[in-house]
A and B are shown apart, each in its own frame.
Chain A
Amino acid sequence: MQTEQPILSVQNLRRDFKMGDEIVHALRGVSFDIYPGEFVTIMGTSGSGKSTMLNILGCMDRPTSGHYILDGQHTETLKRDALARIRSQKLGFVFQSYNLLSRTTAIENVELPLLYNSKISAEERHHRAIEALKMVGLESRMNHLPNQLSGGQQQRVAIARALVNDPVIILADEATGNLDTRTSYEIMMIFQELHRQGKTIAFVTHEPDIATFSGRTVTLRDGLLKKDVINEKVQDAKVAFEMLPPPETFEDDEEGEVE
């Protein structure tokens, strides 16, 4: 369906870990491409190799063999600093546990990735952080500390942080794993909105209903690619959210604390 160059391409990717005398094969030769503007979920049970895959896609780990080409650049042989530069300029991360710096305001958390790019002035940093917070609808909370925000709001700050450096792809690792269903759907609404604006997203999850919000699902099992299917009937998160039964009497049942 796509004729353009893939934004991300993994070819026969293998990753072995040494555990004492044993060698664990976490990935046994996985290949797939992700094209610009795609919203892909990477599914798999624990032990399937999806975390290892995400670490490699996130340039935090290197494959034992195989190729990983991100935005036209081979990453397999790059040194630590070069990988850090790619993370700083081409990738955006959203984690399961938000990983916001405590006692640091929302806007400062969002500015953080830009601190590691010396080309960006303080003024531009601030400006771009505000823009990113607007995209997740949190500009009114930009001076709040993480512990003054709900779990969903914290994750939105984290999404803004992943957007602020205008990455070629956003990598989300179980980004709804710590959230209740309603909040999860809210977060998925944001991801779908970003997708509509043309962002490329790779979303790792083990929850099948989350996968229905994306256009394509790659399933891993035992270190191998098991399924790679186009989702014909993408569910609209907004519709799904409105279909949910109204919340119980208690308003905030999200676990709002980080560490």
Chain B
Amino acid sequence: MNPFTLAKIALRALLRNRMRTFLSVLGIVIGVAAVITMVAMGEGSKKSIKEQMTAMGTNAITIMPNQSRRGGVQTESTETLEEEDVIAIRENANYINGVSPMVTVGGQAIVGNNNSPTTLSGVSADYLKIRNYEIQDGVMFDDETDRMAKVCVIGQTVVKNLFPDTDPIGKTIRYKSIPLKVIGTLKTKGSGDFGQDQDDVIFTPYQTVMRRFSATTNIRQIYANSIGEGYAAKATEEIMTILKERRNWTKPTDPFRVFTQEEMIQMVTSTSDMLSLVLTAIAGISLFVGGIGIMNIMYVSVTERTKEIGLRMAIGARGRDILLQFLFESVIISLLGGAIGIALGIAASETVKIAMNWPMSVSVTSVIVSFGVCFATGVFFGWYPARKASRLDPIEALRFE
């Protein structure tokens, strides 16, 4: 029998039980749509992280305490970064043209009746060039003269929140009851995805945060900038040497982790990879369940049509003809489900993108793979019922009531 005839027979049988067909198709639709959406979510977040990190500047280097992990539990770090480390790097490194610590305090910035829930970031003046920020009005604070000064530089979102109608330069904001004088504003950088608004920032000298706000000498991380592309590896080596020398470090393990931008991207995306793998696996399970649904319905269909199978065999159908007839049915169900599922998945991804402003990226690979998996699902789960049908004894089948 040619494929066209087989498809016609299969379609007719499926149309005869519309509700049943619809439900079997639905199982696949849900599975495929879930896979497409989850993959789109994973791909989207990965892409947006990459874009964000690249926007930070390709020469950026991040230094963090080396946190040891035991069985997934983060144990306390043994070494901490200090202000002296920043100074040592600044004075001794040759492949670095900027270095800044980063210490943060959470809270509200308040001006009169306006407030802005913005994290206060303690940095040094170099931070602007490391992270590609530019001053719009006023000036950046100076590391020497503004040490521990109660001054700040604010991003455009904060300007909008706190000074909707006035010029912020020279005004005072209160952060945790401490007054900070605005000496500069930043040019807008645009918002990154995930709602990480890069203009929602308040910068103040890091000593101000350490002494006045958090009363600590520990620095969470240090940002640095290598002198150009291709110097990142040399710069990280140099930083590590400086940090070790300062501590007379002799242990084989490194006291800190120094990431180049490239490594940082890899680290962040590997987490995101893991997440999308888990999500896709869960979605894949629902596709598997859909396949079991097909198998179930095909068994029912074979049993119900035992007499028809017997007749077809009596008038000359070979086992293979019967096998293909039922296999076509299950493959049509799964491919139909696949096609609708892909369309639905794309639509869902676009809806999430627009409605929730999440980064979604439907990958062509996921669409092609989903369709292929659907075909395989149809064949795999349709095979046993179809084979059962093809092995029926025509005499017994004809007698079946």
Residue A89 interfacial (CB < 8 Å):
yes
Q: Is the CB of A87 within 8 A of B316?
A: yes
Residue A213 interfacial (CB < 8 Å):
no
Residue A45 interfacial (CB < 8 Å):
no
Q: Is the CB of B314 within 8 A of A80?
A: no
B315-352 residues with Cβ-Cβ distance < 8 A to A are 315-321
Residue A93 interfacial (CB < 8 Å):
yes
A53-108 residues with Cβ-Cβ distance < 8 A to B are 55, 58, 60-61, 80-81, 84-85, 87-89, 93, 95, 99, 101, 103-104
Residue A5 interfacial (CB < 8 Å):
no
Closest A residue to B315 using CB positions:
A113
Expressed in whole angstroms, the Cα–Cα distance for A89 and B313 within the complex equals 13
Q: Is the CB of A117 within 8 A of B316?
A: yes
Q: Knowing A115-B1, A116-B1 touch, does A93 contact B395 (C-beta < 8 A)?
A: no
- Scoring A116, A117, A165 by chain B CB atoms within 10 A of each residue's CB, the highest score goes to A116
Q: Is the CB of B308 within 8 A of A118?
A: no
Q: Is the CB of A99 within 8 A of B307?
A: yes
Q: Mark A205-239, 1 if CB is under 8 A from B, else 0.
A: 00000000000000000000000000000000000
Q: Smallest distance from the beta carbon of A202 to chain B beta carbons, Å?
A: 15
Q: Is the CB of A112 within 8 A of B395?
A: no
Q: Smallest distance from the beta carbon of A59 to chain B beta carbons, Å?
A: 9
Expressed in whole angstroms, the Cα–Cα distance for A88 and B313 within the complex equals 9
**What residues of chain A lie closer than 8 Å to B312, measured between beta carbons?**
112, 116
Q: Is the CB of A84 within 8 A of B395?
A: no
Q: Is the CB of B398 within 8 A of A85?
A: no
Q: Is the CB of A116 within 8 A of B321?
A: yes
**What residues of chain A lie closer than 8 Å to B313, measured between beta carbons?**
60, 84, 87
- Scoring B16, B313, B320 by chain A CB atoms within 10 A of each residue's CB, the highest score goes to B313
Expressed in whole angstroms, the Cα–Cα distance for A55 and B310 within the complex equals 13
Expressed in whole angstroms, the Cα–Cα distance for A165 and B319 within the complex equals 20
Residue B122 interfacial (CB < 8 Å):
no
Size range of the interface on A? Answer: 20 to 34
Residue B227 interfacial (CB < 8 Å):
no
**What residues of chain A lie closer than 8 Å to B321, measured between beta carbons?**
116
B382-401 residues with Cβ-Cβ distance < 8 A to A are 394-395, 398
**What residues of chain A lie closer than 8 Å to B242, measured between beta carbons?**
none
Q: Is the CB of A116 within 8 A of B318?
A: yes
**What residues of chain A lie closer than 8 Å to B78, measured between beta carbons?**
none
Expressed in whole angstroms, the Cα–Cα distance for A77 and B53 within the complex equals 75
**What residues of chain B lie closer than 8 Å to A116, measured between beta carbons?**
1, 312, 315-318, 321
**What residues of chain B lie closer than 8 Å to A95, measured between beta carbons?**
311, 398
**What residues of chain A lie closer than 8 Å to B319, measured between beta carbons?**
80-81, 84
Residue A123 interfacial (CB < 8 Å):
no
Expressed in whole angstroms, the Cα–Cα distance for A104 and B315 within the complex equals 16
Residue B74 interfacial (CB < 8 Å):
no
**What residues of chain A lie closer than 8 Å to B311, measured between beta carbons?**
95, 99, 101
A55, A112, A118: the one contacting B2 at CB < 8 Å is A118
Closest B residue to A112 using CB positions:
B315
A55, A85, A122: the one contacting B316 at CB < 8 Å is A85
Q: Is the CB of A88 within 8 A of B316?
A: yes
Expressed in whole angstroms, the Cα–Cα distance for A99 and B313 within the complex equals 12
Closest A residue to B319 using CB positions:
A80
- Scoring B1, B308, B315, B394 by chain A CB atoms within 10 A of each residue's CB, the highest score goes to B315
Q: Is the CB of A113 within 8 A of B394?
A: no
B5, B16, B307, B315: the one contacting A93 at CB < 8 Å is B315
Q: Is the CB of B1 within 8 A of A101?
A: no
Q: Is the CB of A55 within 8 A of B308?
A: no
Q: Smallest distance from the beta carbon of B7 to chain A beta carbons, Å?
A: 13
B85-135 residues with Cβ-Cβ distance < 8 A to A are none
Q: Mark B1-29, 1 if CB is under 8 A from A, else 0.
A: 11001000000100010000000000000
Expressed in whole angstroms, the Cα–Cα distance for A61 and B310 within the complex equals 13
Closest A residue to B313 using CB positions:
A84
Q: Smallest distance from the beta carbon of B105 to chain A beta carbons, Å?
A: 75
Closest A residue to B310 using CB positions:
A99
B315, B320, B398: the one contacting A161 at CB < 8 Å is B315
**What residues of chain B lie closer than 8 Å to A22, measured between beta carbons?**
none
**What residues of chain A lie closer than 8 Å to B314, measured between beta carbons?**
58, 60, 87, 93, 99
Expressed in whole angstroms, the Cα–Cα distance for A113 and B314 within the complex equals 9
- Scoring B2, B16, B319, B394 by chain A CB atoms within 10 A of each residue's CB, the highest score goes to B394
Residue A259 interfacial (CB < 8 Å):
yes
Closest B residue to A100 using CB positions:
B311
Q: Mark B287-310, 1 if CB is under 8 A from A, else 0.
A: 000000000000000000001100
Q: Smallest distance from the beta carbon of A136 to chain B beta carbons, Å?
A: 16
Expressed in whole angstroms, the Cα–Cα distance for A113 and B1 within the complex equals 11
Q: Is the CB of A60 within 8 A of B395?
A: yes
Q: Knowing A115-B5, A116-B1 touch, does A55 contact B395 (C-beta < 8 A)?
A: yes
**What residues of chain A lie closer than 8 Å to B16, measured between beta carbons?**
103
Q: Is the CB of B2 within 8 A of A259?
A: no
Closest B residue to A98 using CB positions:
B311
B5, B316, B398: the one contacting A84 at CB < 8 Å is B316
**What residues of chain A lie closer than 8 Å to B308, measured between beta carbons?**
101
Expressed in whole angstroms, the Cα–Cα distance for A104 and B317 within the complex equals 18
Q: What is A's interface to B at a CB cutoff of 8 Å?
A: 55, 58, 60-61, 80-81, 84-85, 87-89, 93, 95, 99, 101, 103-104, 112-113, 115-118, 122, 161, 165, 259
Closest 8 CB pairs of A and B: A88-B316, A116-B316, A84-B318, A113-B315, A87-B316, A99-B311, A60-B394, A81-B318
* A-B contact list, 20 entries, CB within 8 Å: A55-B395, A60-B313, A60-B314, A80-B318, A81-B318, A81-B319, A84-B316, A87-B313, A87-B316, A88-B315, A88-B316, A89-B316, A93-B315, A115-B5, A116-B315, A116-B316, A116-B321, A122-B5, A161-B315, A165-B316
Q: What is B's interface to A at a CB cutoff of 8 Å?
A: 1-2, 5, 12, 16, 307-308, 311-321, 394-395, 398
